[in-house]
Amino acid sequence: MPNETRSSFSILVLHGPNLNLLGLREPGIYGSVTLADINQLLQKEASSRSCQIETLQSNHEGVLVDAIQAARTEHHGILINAGAYTHTSVALRDALAAVAMPVVEVHLSNIYQREPFRHHSFIAPIAVGQISGFGAESYRLGLLALVHTLKTGSRAK
């Protein structure tokens, strides 16, 4: 829902399965940052841009689908790290396509440097763009790209 006259946006930040274990989970790949650290970083970044964010992590596909559907009337855009569902979930992709609002996909790791099964994303074709490989910074960059898209109605340049 791009709107050039708006100065404030509400963004839903979704974290998929196993991201609640950040800090403990495969630190060689995901580092020591926790999900709470990432949410705090995003809250800070959002408030300095007069944006609101709501964050949700779930290990359950249906919970994420429900949150995406509810976003239709509550938020202007979605920032999502769908975790492993990125590579498997037609349901998440269809929900994101159905709500028809700008979506930015992020990943902590560079999914293209990893196993071949991680190279395909069901979400990428319906997202404005994807940021992958910068650790927690992927989320911050993704938020900036989404805010830019919402403010200008165009892709990040």
**Out of 1, 2, 10, 18, the residue judged to bind ligand DQA by CB under 6 A:** 18
Task: Cite the beta strand spans of the chain per DSSP E.
Answer: 10-15, 52-57, 77-81, 103-107, 129-132
Cα separation of 75 and 25, whole Å?
30
Residue 139 is among the residues annotated as catalytic for this protein: no
Q: How far is the CB of 83 from ligand DQA (least distance, A)?
A: 3
Residue 128, both tokens: 């404005």
Residue 22, both tokens: 């950040």
Q: How far is the CB of 130 from ligand DQA (least distance, A)?
A: 11
CB 2, CB 43: distance < 8 Å: no
Binding of ligand DQA at residue 83 (CB under 6 A)?
yes
Binding of ligand DQA at residue 84 (CB under 6 A)?
yes
Q: Where do contacts with ligand DQA occur on this chain (CB under 6 A)? A: 18, 81, 83-84, 86, 107-109, 111, 118
